[in-house]
């Protein structure tokens, strides 16, 4: 249904949780190198439990390679630096939901060049600076799914 893209993920638990979300929604998981862990890591497998082998997983050497393969797909860039909300846009099947590294997020130039395709999950002012990566993936992915399948 959608393409979850983790750009240079660092924490195996988040990749495993994103894989489980992908499987639960009929989406694909795309990991863009460098990865901060091995895909054989016990934490990746533990988070995905016995589902990990069923995940539609793609590993890319770099983001340009992924973009070329996904030509014609919509790209949405999630960042705390963006101003638009996932509730303000219309997702389409096959869109790529792009999330950055846990410690740094997406590169600032990528967010700036994304314009209206850069999205921010609304949070209480002064509350927290960001959400856990797998939590952010779940929020945005399920909003996109809800728009396609309101009866879910």
The answer on pLDDT for 44 being more than 80 is no
- The secondary structure of residue 39, as a DSSP letter, is T
Total domain count for the chain? 1
Mean pLDDT of the residues in the chain: 91
User: 59 — phi, psi (to 5°)?
Assistant: -115, 130
Range of the domain at 53: 3-148
The CATH number for 132's domain is 3.40.1280.10
How high is the pLDDT of residue 101?
96
- The secondary structure of residue 106, as a DSSP letter, is S
More confident residue, 129 or 123: 123
pTM score of the predicted model: 0.93
More confident residue, 84 or 149: 84
The mean pLDDT of 95-110, rounded to a whole number, is 96
Q: How far is CA 138 from the centre of its chain?
A: 8
User: Which three-class secondary structure string do you get for 40-73?
Assistant: CCHHHHHHHHHHHHHCEEEEECCHHHHHHHCCCC
Q: Are 66 and 28 in contact (CB under 8 A)?
A: no
Contacts of 106 (CB under 8 A, 6+ apart): 7, 77, 78, 79, 98, 99, 100
């Amino acid at each position: 249904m959608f393409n979850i893209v983790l750009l240079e993920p660092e924490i195996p638990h988040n990749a495993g949780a994103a894989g489980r979300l992908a499987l639960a929604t009929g989406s694909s998981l795309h990991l863009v190198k460098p990865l901060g862990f091995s895909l054989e890591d016990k934490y990746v497998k533990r988070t995905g439990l016995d589902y990990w082998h069923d995940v539609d997983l793609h590993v890319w050497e770099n983001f340009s390679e992924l973009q070329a393969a996904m030509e014609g797909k919509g790209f949405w860039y999630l960042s705390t630096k963006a101003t638009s909300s996932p509730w303000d846009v219309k997702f389409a099947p096959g869109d790529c939901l792009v999330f950055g590294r846990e410690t740094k997020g997406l590169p600032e130039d990528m967010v700036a060049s994304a314009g209206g395709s850069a999205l921010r999950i609304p949070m209480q002012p002064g509350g927290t600076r960001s959400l856990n990566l797998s939590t952010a993936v779940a929020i945005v992915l399920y909003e996109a799914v809800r728009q396609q399948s309101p009866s879910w």
